[in-house]
Amino acid sequence: MQSSGRTVAGELEKALGELFEEPVKITGAGRTDTGVHASGQVISFITSRSFPFERLAIALNSVLPYDISVREVAIAPAGFSARFSARERTYVYAVLNRPDRSALLAHRAYHVYRRTLDLNAMRAAAAHLVGEHDFRSFCGVLPESGVTVREVRSVAIEARDDLLRMQISADGFVHRMVRTIVGTLVECGLGRRDPNSLPAILAALDRRAAGLTAPPHGLYLAGVRYDDYDSYQEPKLSS
């Protein structure tokens, strides 16, 4: 929720409140910056009112605005939290790598047009990020806890024609971590940064050591994994 402007959380709480006829407060699996998308976001909430469960997804989609949709619903066990029960989160980042821009992907992918990205250099750089590290150099705003250690479990980079798809999974992420990682890897792919400089960037514990922050519109929260459920859904992209 924000003091001004529309938010996904605000629209969902408004719709749920309308259906359950009482104020509803949701918990999201992860926060997303303005302009970031989600194909696999998960929310949880508690209500004291009843509603025909089999109709809840249909009912929500009938009252939500066009840019938010609910894919499925489930009754969770007591104590479940979309945020704190999560075991792993997966983000996908899309880069359009060609000279001419795409009107259809203008708000869905980061347009890198000056030269063809070197995928091998980007993959070599990304390999240094896998494992448990202090990602303070890739953090925009420090969390209240001050803890910036996270475990990156996988980074995959692949080309689909002129669309570059980067997928990163971790036990958690700090503020703008994925976008800063992408920006740094793009600099490696453009030959502006040595792929073997990543260990030094991590060791610096200084945001100024890493690369640019990639724009928000190429980023998708694609999935959240729990003990018995995974919300992953591939973002639907086409150039």
Known catalytic residues are: 33
Structure tokens at 114: 């000056």
- The angle that helices 177-189 and 119-127 make with each other, rounded to 10 degrees, is 130
Structure tokens at 150: 């996270």
Structure tokens at 155: 């980074």
Question: Which residue do the tokens 């104590």 mark?
Answer: 79
Measure the CA–CA gap between 224 and 82, rounded to whole angstroms. Answer: 9
Residues near 144 by beta carbon (within 8 Å), at least 6 away in sequence: none
Measure the CA–CA gap between 28 and 48, rounded to whole angstroms. Answer: 19
